[in-house]
Structure 1
Amino acid sequence: MATLLHIDSSLFPAQASASRAVTEAFRRTWEEQHPGGTVVYRDLAADPVPHVTADGFTAGLADPDTHTAEQAAAFEQRLRLIEELEQADAVLIGAPMYNFTIPSTLKAWLDNVILFGRTAGDAPSAKGTPVTVVASRGGSYAPGTPREPYEYVLNYLRDVLGTALALDVDFIVPELTMAPHNPAMAELIPLYEASRTRALDEAAAKAKQLTERPAA
């Protein structure tokens, strides 16, 4: 039975979130393609995971038999998140750009699941798992635009997810999402609408594509 790990990190509810609208389109199609599948859902805005503490970090470097009670408790929380990643057949992440980078809640999740010697290192335990990232942003940071140098979402997640965790990363990028809300961007609304439609179509297509993906 296929399992999708779905993570949202937008501060806003579905009706006001560009990234949530697209992850929902992906998830809906994935569920249609996997009527007996399982979705493990984490809303990091509504229910954030704890930041890694000194106990949780040092526990990841030590033999479990040597853990203190505090290390064991902290590491148990990390293991729960790590196992969700390892057991997923596909991963879906909503990653809106806030202040040029990812939400702090998503960074906390990443800090928990990156464990050298297990999920990262010579033999990453979730290697090759497909991950679709919906990286929404209020403006455009595409190559050739004035704000290209400030793009720290795709660059960062490509390295963390694709290199450190060795996942198979794909991005969907709804942009110009502030156009309907910022009068100075009013003339960009048609481009925003086109980007939104394209992202929703890409989400559905990607979910179907994963269904047709050969088993590893």
Structure 2
Amino acid sequence: MSTIFRLDASIRLEGSVTRAVADTLESAITEELGDATVVRRDVGLDPVDPSVWGTAAFAGFTPEDARTPEQVEALATAAALADEVAGADALIFAVPLYNFGVSQHFKAWADLVTTDPRFGPGTETIKGRPAFLITARGGGYGEGTPRAGWDHATGWMRRYLEDVWGLDLDVIETELTLAEVTPQMAELRELAREQLAESHETARTSGRSVTLKLRSAA
């Protein structure tokens, strides 16, 4: 039986594009596999306490017999989060762009997981495992647009998931997600709908294709 880890970082439960596209991807994978287990971590609605990261980080440099109860608890929290990732055969990260940068909830989670010895720089715990980064941006950030280069999140997340953790990462991006509710973007609504439809189709196709990797690895 395959295990899928899914992380959601959107602060919206209803109307979230990253959640919706991740739902499509998850359904495509689980329907093809039939017996997959999905482990969920919702850091958007149930955030990781960012202060735990500092406690866990310093605990790693403290002799075990000298650690405070707070340090022991922080390391246990990091280990529990790391267990979820280490036990996955494929991973889904649904993380929107917020204020031109990385979601603070995703960053706090990633920082804490990295304090676990299995996930620090140079480790290969999940190297090569198939993974998906689903991200969404309210406006347009492509070359030639007024905000080209303003997306400071996607590049960082790719570096972390691909280069630090070594995942075999596919990225599904959706732009113009605020067009439907922003009067100034009314002329972009049809393009926004087309982009969203393409993202869902990519998710369906990718979900079906990744099952071949999971089956061959079983």
TM range (shorter): over 0.9
Structure 2, unaligned runs of 5 or more? none
Q: 1:209 corresponds to which letter in structure 2?
A: S
Structure 2 contact 53–115 (Cα < 8 Å) conserved = no
Between 46-55 and 184-193, report the one with greater CA deviation: 46-55
AA aligned to 2:103 is: P
Q: Equivalent residues in 2 for 1:1-216 (5 A)?
A: 1-14=1-14, 16-51=15-50, 52-115=52-115, 117-213=117-213, 214-215=216-217
- Give TM-score, length-normalised by structure 2: 0.92
Count of residue pairs brought into register by the alignment: 215
1:44, distance to aligned residue in structure 2 (A): 1.4
Displacement of 1:21 in angstroms is: 0.7
Contact kept in structure 1, 2:131 and 2:167, CA below 8 Å: yes
What's the offset of the Cα at 1:67? 2.9
Q: Residue 203 of structure 1 aligns to which amino acid in structure 2? A: A
Deviation by residue 1:163-214 (Cα, 9 ceiling, x = unmatched): 1111122110111001111111000001100000000001111111110114
Shift of 1:116: 7.2
The alignment's C-alpha RMSD in Å is 1.7
Identify if the C-alpha distance between structure 1 residues 12 and 33 changes in structure 2 by more than 3 Å, giving closer, same or farther: same
TM-score of the two chains, using structure 1 as the length reference:
0.93
Answer yes or no: is the 8 Å Cα contact 1:117–1:124 preserved in 2. no
User: Residue 122 and residue 42 in structure 1: after superposition, are their counterparts in 2 closer, same or farther (change >3 A)?
Assistant: closer
Structure 2: distance between partners of 1:120 and 1:53: 13
CA distance in 2, matches of 1:123, 1:53: 19
Is the CA contact 1:33–1:211 (under 8 Å) kept in the aligned structure 2?
A: yes
Question: What is the one-letter code of the residue matched to 1:30?
Answer: I
